[in-house]
Chains A and B, each alone.
Chain A
Amino acid sequence: MRLLFGSCFTLLIAAALGLGATWFTLTRGVAFGALTIGAWKAWPKSGSADIDPYARAMVARTGELPTGMGDGIAFYARTDDNGHVFDGRCTFTLRGLTPTARYWTVTLYTPEGRLVPNSINRYGFTSEEIVRDNDGRFGITVAPLARPGNWLPTGGIEQFVLVWRLYDTAIGVATRTAKEGPMPAIERKGC
């Protein structure tokens, strides 16, 4: 009797622990070898045959196709530099420089990776269409309501994700520090 109870208890705990851990890691986005620059995170190995099992499982679950290593690299940000989670009802600014790349794009998504509908069909910017200052720096305002300059509309959604993609760049597996790859600073300006 005691044996039966013990094994049932063990199996139940094991199933709960194992499945819980899998669910947790796959929904929270746990992957190894992240390259972190400020609030931006990239997983260069996810774009190669060396992709780790967690990233593989995540990609299979979400249905996305990771950016290939010979193509470019994708940096994800879910918070500003101070850890404030991106809220579509607040205003955030992106300011600064980017690592050397032939082209880059920045895109705003829902946490599930969908585009956010808006009146001007603006989902992001490319390096060619952004308006820059005289010294080559630029600023992007991410806000629910129209702003002068480079305005990226949030559509007022509860939570969003920014993805900065660099194409044809040297930034990748060998990159170690933010010195090699200066990414734009993100700051919350108000809600």
Chain B
Amino acid sequence: MVRGLLWLLAAILLGGIVHLSTVLAMPQAANQDAYSRLAPLTPVNTMAPLTATQAGGEIMPFMDPAFAAAVCRYDLSGGPLKLTAPVSQAYTSVTFYTRRSVAFYAVNDRAAGRRMIELDLMTAAQHAQVPEDEEVTAADRLIIESPTTMGLIVLRALAPEPSLMRMARQALGAATCRIQSQ
């Protein structure tokens, strides 16, 4: 009887370990995450517009159909990345995701403060190499540190009414992301 209870206790403990390790391993094991879905559709280190979110044409679940979106799938192994995006009339935002879909930074047009959103994305090691005086003189230069070498930058522009979708898409069409030559 006691022995049976001990076996059961061991089973519960082991079950807890199995549960926690599978939850923690899931992001690494998932092959249908956002990055994997976008990889065949988008080039690396180039801004690519996504098709409009319509019934039957969704690339990812729970996308907001009121927004036009563009994606820059980045790989910082060749150097830091520079992102420029003109703000659209209504609302524009930029969200940075790691390779495992963690939104580590997001900013909107008002917080960015100008007619143009300009950001530098780099790894911690690349940030450490930026000369200090350069950072001071370029005070308006916004540097974002990416925790992973690869990831996604998603640009979103709101079309407050369906008729304004074309304008939102146009604004995103002028956005660029490219590796800075050092």
Q: Which residues of A contact B (CB under 8 A)?
A: 6-7, 9-19, 21-22, 25-26, 46-49, 51, 53-54, 56-57, 59-72, 74, 102-103, 105, 107, 109, 112-118, 121, 123-124, 126-129, 163, 165, 167-168
Contact = CB atoms under 8 A, between A and B. Distances in A.
A38 B24 CA distance: 31
B24 A53 contact: yes
A63 B61 contact: yes
Interface in B1-46: 3, 7-8, 10-19, 21-24, 26-27, 29-30, 32-34, 36-37
Nearest to A69: B106
Interface residues on B, range: 35 or more
A68 B95 contact: yes
Contact of A61 (B16, B26, B111): B26
B62 A103 contact: no
Contact of A102 (B16, B66, B91, B106): B91
B160 A128 contact: yes
Given A14-B14, A19-B22, A6 B160 contact: no
Contacts of A72: 93
Contacts of B14: 10-11, 14, 18
A12 B101 CA distance: 33
A71 B108 contact: yes
B156 interface: yes
Nearest to A23: B22
A63 B33 contact: yes
A98 B53 CA distance: 25
Nearest to B154: A65
A25 B54 CA distance: 29
Interface of B: 3, 7-8, 10-19, 21-24, 26-27, 29-30, 32-34, 36-37, 53-56, 58, 60-67, 90-91, 93, 95-97, 100-108, 110-111, 147, 152, 154, 156, 158-162
A46 B103 CA distance: 8
Given A61-B32, A69-B103, A54 B23 contact: yes
Contacts of A103: 90-91, 158, 160
Contacts of B26: 22, 26, 56-57, 60-61
22 contacts: A14-B13, A15-B18, A19-B19, A22-B22, A49-B103, A51-B103, A63-B30, A70-B111, A71-B95, A71-B156, A72-B93, A74-B62, A103-B158, A107-B66, A114-B55, A116-B55, A118-B55, A128-B160, A129-B161, A163-B62, A167-B93, A168-B91
Main secondary structure of the interface of A (DSSP, over half): mixed
B65 A168 contact: no
Nearest to A49: B104
Residue among A25, A46, A71, A113 with most chain B CB within 10 A: A71
Nearest to A111: B61
Contacts of B96: 68
Contacts of A7: 7
